Amino acid sequence: MTKSHIYIKIAILLLFSFFNISCGRVGSTNAEAKESESLSSSAMTEYHAADIIKMIKKGKPIQLMNCMIWDDLDFTQCGEPRITSGIAVEVDVEVPIYFNHCLFMGNVLGKSKFKDKFSCSANFRRSVTFSDCDFRGEVDFTKVMVADNIDFSKSTFGENAKFDLVELRGGINRFYEITAEKNFSFTSSYSNGNISFMDATFKGDANFHKLICSELMMNNTTFDGDAIFSNQTIRGAALFNYAKFNHDFDLSYSKFLAPVIMTHAEILGKIVLNYCVFSSPSRFSNASTYAIDMNEALFFFAPDLSNVKIEKVVNDESVYRFVSSEKHVFRLADKSKDEASSVGDKDKIDPDKINIQKVKE
């Protein structure tokens, strides 16, 4: 083989090696570019609240996912205010609102002050969704009206959340699996349909005083603070199965037009049923509570109290009534009371020995 042939072979080998290295580098660069693109697409898109307000004013539906919103998002800035009474102003939000897996760094507001003297609230003419969102500031939807369904499911409220005096005209209102880190208020509100707070966690006080709705679902819900459900009117079933109350549970003066079902509920404080009206058969079976007060509660049907565990009855006994107007006394079994008096402390009754009696006066 001549020297010229050898040089040609060496040149071909070098050229082939260079081509392989170049192709490998291009492949590596493409892979890195794809990885970079994937990382940037998974990062949250950032918006300022003013950008969202501009979109709403232009009539564009809001549909944002995996976004971070800076500043206070005030929905009363999304339309022309109109005076509805001497001291009230309303603003219509005409487009559907949809946020999923979004982080709100400021407050989210449905009410504000107009010209420093009028109370201004937002009317949402379409559906409102904040699912799986994280609210770092306060949420205040006081006096808000929502004409369609509302959905805050799986969201976390880092500060106080207020839904007082809200009017919900949709048939389905979802708050299931929410986490309220501080106080949560839903007082004097009205819902045309059902409300679900199933599997929710309230770490502060939860106040549902004077709520009116159809079915109220609180199954598997945890209340770390006081749970206030007084003066309610519930047209559908009120469901508290397997709910856990770490403090008092107040249902006093409420009217239940359908069954109340509270099986396997655990109440570490006191349950208050004073002056409640139960219009349908209700079940409290296998529930447990530290104390019960049901003075002057009215039952249209005898409640199911099977396997209920109670450590004490407030003031030793509570008087309640059936529709027949006959008075009944709800008290601990005499044997348990005698055992308690023998040790000199009625608060130390063994709950496993509790037996419940209904005795006519």
Cα-trace Rg, the chain: 31
pTM for this model (two decimals) = 0.80
Q: What pLDDT score does 177 carry?
A: 98
For the chain, the maximum distance between any two Cα atoms, rounded to a whole number of angstroms, is 126
The arithmetic mean of pLDDT across residues 183-211, rounded, is 98
Share of the chain above pLDDT 90, in %: 63
Query: Distance between CA 183 and CA 280 in Å, rounded?
Result: 32
326 vs 177, which has greater pLDDT?
Answer: 177
CB 197 within 8 A of CB 177: no
pLDDT tens, position by position, 9-48: 555 555 445 444 444 443 444 443 333 332 233 588 999 9
Q: What pLDDT score does 75 carry?
A: 97
Q: What pLDDT score does 7 carry?
A: 55
Query: Distance between CA 209 and CA 28 in Å, rounded?
Result: 63
CB 305 within 8 A of CB 356: yes
pLDDT tens, position by position, 68-91: 999 999 999 998 888 877 678 899
H or E stretch covering 50:
helix 49-57
Let me know if 2 is exposed, middle or buried by CB neighbors in 10 A (0-12, 13-18, 19+): exposed
Instruction: Tabulate helix, strand, coil % of the chain (nearest 5).
Output: 20, 40, 40
The arithmetic mean of pLDDT across residues 202-229, rounded, is 98
Q: What pLDDT score does 113 carry?
A: 76
Q: What pLDDT score does 258 carry?
A: 97
The arithmetic mean of pLDDT across residues 159-177, rounded, is 97
- pLDDT class of 4 with cuts at 50, 70, 90: low
3-class secondary structure, 127: coil
Chain-wide mean pLDDT for the chain?
83
- pLDDT class of 353 with cuts at 50, 70, 90: very low
For the chain, give every domain's residue range.
Answer: 44-330
